[in-house]
Amino acid sequence: MMIVKRIDITPTKEFSPETGGAGKVSFVTDTGDVIFDCQIKPGRDALKRNPVVAYISEALRQVQLMPEYRISKSYMKFAPGVLPAEFAL
């Protein structure tokens, strides 16, 4: 199990709802970083979200595609307060 203690976002292309955006999202853990290259598509979904939520949502989507997480051999938890309020369950 990995516990994410911090999320770092480094945009490589400025985000706007009209053009989308691109950047790197790092999930920082005690054992190292998990880094995702994220592309945010322009359009209606981008209009509804702020850039931070859009980048984290894309990184979480990519986590779901990773084989080790799909077959439940590993999983990721987030330390309290790491995720924005929009992700609260």
Give me the pLDDT at residue 47, please. Answer: 54
Question: How confident is the model at residue 5, as a pLDDT?
Answer: 96
* The predicted structure's pLDDT at residue 3: 93
Q: What confidence score (pLDDT) does residue 46 get?
A: 57
Q: pLDDT tens digits, residue range 32-56?
A: 999 999 998 887 665 566 888 889 9
Distances (CA, A) of 68 to 37, 39, 54, 80: 18, 22, 24, 24
Where do the domains of the chain lie?
Answer: 2-74
Low-confidence ranges of the chain (pLDDT < 70): 44-49, 73-74, 88-89
